[in-house]
Chains A and B, each alone.
Chain A
Amino acid sequence: MPEAQVIPLDGPRRPPGPRPAPEAATTGRLHGVIDFLRRRLTGDFEVDEFGFDPQFTDEFLLAPLRPLYERWFRVQLRGIDNVPSEGGALVVANHSGTIAIDSVMTQLALLDHHPAHRHLRMLGADLVFQTPFLGELARKAGHTLACMPDAERLLSSGELVGVWPEGFKGVGKPFSERYKLQRFGRGGFVAAALRTRVPIIPTAIVGAEEIYPMIGSLPPIARLLGLPYFPVTPTFPWLGPLGMIPLPSKWIIAFGGPIHTDEMPESAADDPMLVLELADRVRENIQQSLYRLLVEREGVFF
């Protein structure tokens, strides 16, 4: 066991105070792996009604993405305290990057770096749940279909919900339109927040636009594969699988001050004017933070 060899032998350099013994960590970790394996093989774990499997998500699904978050994109967080530690809240963010990695990075940010280690439950397009493997993993990671009953069920049971109202229009926009917010759906997310009286947290993500600069699209191939677009980037599909390596842009995820909905009138969700106005306010808020962060950042990659 390589870990067994690295026990420091020279005492004085060791910092004072108690420290977990490395041997305990090694056997503990191995024990954890065995226990994990046993539970998985015998089906002895619990999923919630949405199919969310927290154990699988934490220890298996998100593990390979952590190096991407910490070392590749070196995500910097701002305003994480704006996300409440308990109770329902709706995180609304801009969508970009050709492949929706930005949503997974936001999920990781909130799980690993929020003081309450919150799971972000995202609302996804129906295409996600139609696609084999992707749909299965999305359900296991706690995400569900973007529809009113599911949004309200999650929010009213006190979950932290994430939406990307631009949808495919945002992820699949050409590089020349980077950081320009697209239309914000039909404002359904605002109605869900109003009905459940949870705060909306406008979130700006900078850096994701540059991971796969989309310079074109091949609509015939997209139609053939049933996808909303088929991206062409400076490296994809020219370099094959190598072209799928994202560029190492430096990211900033900024959680803005919450917009409270509990002071609004009871019937607000049924007032389309108010809903659209509020959706616009959220959109404007995110657009302004994007501009601010773009001015602040020194370079795309550093």
Chain B
Amino acid sequence: MARVVLVTGAARHLGGQMTRALAKDPFVERVIGVDVVPPRKVLGEAEFIRADIRNPVIGKIIRSADVDTVVHMGVIATPVQAGGRAAMKEINVIGTMQLLAACQKSETVRRLVVKSTTSVYGAGPRDPALFTEGMAPKHPPTSGWAKDLVEVEGYVRGFGRRRPDVDVTILRLANFIGPRIQTAMTSYFSLPVVPTVMGYDARLQFVHEDDGIEALRVAAASEATGVFNVAGEGIITLSQAIRRAGRPWLEVPRPLLGFAGRSLGSRLADFSPDQVRFLTYGRGIDTGRAAHVLGFIPRYTTARAFDDFVRGHGLREGFTSRVVEATESAVFQAAAAAQRLASSAVDWGSSRSEVRRA
């Protein structure tokens, strides 16, 4: 059982939640959060050390605190958070290498849990409907966060080979969504008008932020090793998601999606080639292994996690959503009026026929 846990990326939203969740766990004696920037919220009973995992300081922390479990969540998703793509790549890749180097030297580390993403499977027309952990991507990611994570996973596998005595677990999590979290996807759905690719309807899977944290906590405490896909049950299509969020949308030809998205605002919404492919084809993953081997089943289905996000972000309260809703209710009222008219005409007709028969 984990006693001293080190969490990287602890200053960010998910890292902070994870650190707090572990601090409440009775089996965990001590939690140390590490990040380059100070945390925005207090980490509860956890300790926080401001350290850059890109330099060997991290090794000293692991040694001095006798860390036995390392939860690596310090891979940054967007350049905005890191201050540019170059810095982001350095934190993600060099940071992971330094962390793994420190773990390899350590005699106390017994378990390594890495938060990865299902984006490493890429997205494209030749994909199977659902990816299992053993499948190779048909259209591997070419840039950004997903490519960083492909490299991170490669280094983690290398570490696993060099230190077979350390249990290594990689969680590939679907896109996070929820009432509090801000990601490229939540920004995308929050655009005043959501641009979509004409002629395609991507299949999406989400994991609720609470479920994602719980999956990482279970993985940190478990003895299961290997790669696990994590996502809420079921899928929703992009068009279905937009309608559930009550958002207005605009279908544009695929080459114009990035242009349309950027001109609609929001720095955080991502329209890189990989993300455009994802918004075109979508992706499905099989979560059977996490359920059977890790024993983790998310509380929220994909659809319910998405609804919770819509509620939490107040998406239905914006001006454009109100216009959509008003239009919809007008259509329903018109239809209901037509229905009443039809049934009264029928009543009138049948009463007349009864009179005749009588």
Contact = CB atoms under 8 A, between A and B. Distances in A.
Interface string A142-177: 001101011001000000000000000000000000
B97 interface: no
Q: Interface of chain A, helix or strand or loop or mixed?
A: helix
Contact of B244 (A37, A42, A147): A42
B350 interface: yes
B339 interface: yes
A131 to B, nearest CB: 8
A68 interface: no
B347 interface: yes
B230 to A, nearest CB: 15
A42 B348 CA distance: 34
Contacts, number: 124
Interface stretch (B34-42, B66-74, B182-190, B193-201): B193-201
Interface string A53-80: 1000000000000000000000000000
Interface stretch (B19-27, B219-227, B328-336): B328-336
Interface stretch (A27-35, A188-196, A269-277): A27-35
Nearest to A45: B240
Contact of A43 (B130, B135, B241, B345): B241
A126 interface: yes
A112 interface: no
B125 interface: yes
A244 B94 CA distance: 59
Nearest to B127: A145
Contacts of A147: 126, 128
Contact of B129 (A53, A131, A145): A145
Contacts of B203: 47, 49, 51, 139
Contact of B346 (A26, A38, A45, A144): A26
A34 B335 contact: yes
B338 interface: yes
A132 interface: yes
A126 B357 contact: no
A129 B202 CA distance: 11
B132 interface: yes
Q: Which of B135, B200, B241, B331 has the most CB of A within 10 A?
A: B200
Interface string A115-131: 00000000000100111
A23 B346 contact: yes
A130 B235 contact: no
B309 to A, nearest CB: 13
The residue among A11, A40, A42 with the most chain B CB atoms within 10 A of its own CB is A42
B346 A153 contact: no
A7 interface: yes
A149 B198 contact: no
A89 B62 CA distance: 56
B263 interface: no
Contacts of A136: 199-201
Interface string A7-50: 10101000000000111001100110110011011111111111
A259 to B, nearest CB: 26
A30 to B, nearest CB: 5
A30 B125 contact: no
A126 B345 contact: no
Contacts of B248: none
A47 B284 contact: no
A144 B284 CA distance: 12
A44 B200 CA distance: 19
Given A41-B328, A51-B235, A149 B130 contact: yes
15 contacts: A1-B346, A30-B338, A37-B335, A38-B332, A43-B244, A46-B234, A49-B203, A51-B282, A126-B126, A139-B201, A147-B128, A149-B128, A149-B135, A150-B129, A153-B130
Given A34-B335, A153-B129, 14 more contacts: A1-B341, A4-B349, A9-B353, A9-B356, A42-B328, A43-B236, A48-B235, A49-B203, A49-B234, A49-B235, A126-B125, A129-B126, A132-B254, A145-B129
- 9 closest A-B pairs (Cβ-Cβ)? A132-B199, A43-B243, A23-B346, A43-B244, A129-B125, A43-B240, A130-B125, A133-B199, A149-B128
Interface of A: 1, 4-5, 7, 9, 11, 21-23, 26-27, 30-31, 33-34, 37-38, 40-51, 53, 126, 129-133, 135-136, 139-140, 144-145, 147, 149-150, 153
